[in-house]
Amino acid sequence: MSEMFEGKTAIVTGASRGIGSGIATTLADHGATVVINYRSSEQRATEVVEEIEADGGTAVAVQADVSDPADVEAMVEATVDQFGAVDILVNNAGMTKIGPAAELDLEDWRRVIDVDLTGVFIACQIAGRRMREQANGGAIVNIASMMGQMGYHMRAPYCSAKAGVINLTRTLAVEWAPDDISVNALAPGFIQTDITDQTQDSAGYTDEDIRRRTPMARFGTVEEMASCVTFLARGDTFVTGEVLRADGGWTSDAWRYHEGRV
């Protein structure tokens, strides 16, 4: 265990599984006290806490719907009451709805926007206020997506929300730079998680499709995303308002599909 974040407290939203749990455990490995936020998966959140504690770290699970300001306020206040401060916020909670835009139900659109964009704003606003009051700086990392920088079929609400997260990140970075609060975003490509497996089934693409389309010829890993977040959360890099794309070269590749790759 390193001491990179020793004495720091981090809130990671949507941390009961996938990329979120990987980020939480990695921050804890580097010395941070971590708040594992979940909406409904209490058992999985508890398992993440137990994993961190088994490795000698400190973590608690806190239930909150990120689209509900009262829930987020209560989570931030509980964090401050128990640990004294909020130093790092990672906005990872998210969802998607796959389907043709022409047939998309408006309620499905609103729910994705509420969680993936409005939820990020709410958490940034409430935690950011606390960081400013603490006057010790802070770091916010918003999990966006490469799909926030490109169009992708059957993903209208998700792509729109993640594009909003990217520009929200830049705006907050400019506003809060005088308070020594860095605000950056990570834009993952296709990362191998159980959630990815579920969306593949509904969207009709295979592992081989992703491997052929990605210049690095594979999915990214949760551990790689956690390493990216660790860099962005450090707060000692003179980096703010940036979007770190971790997509294996997907959005840089003009060829789009590598038929002959083995």
- Residue 15 neighbours by CB under 8 Å, 6+ apart: 21, 23, 24, 34, 36, 37, 38, 45, 48, 90, 92
Helix residue ranges per DSSP H, 7-67? 18-29, 42-54
**Distance between terminal CA atoms of the chain?**
38
Catalytic residue IDs: 158
Whole-angstrom CA distances from 211 to 196, 231, 242, 246 are 14, 26, 27, 15
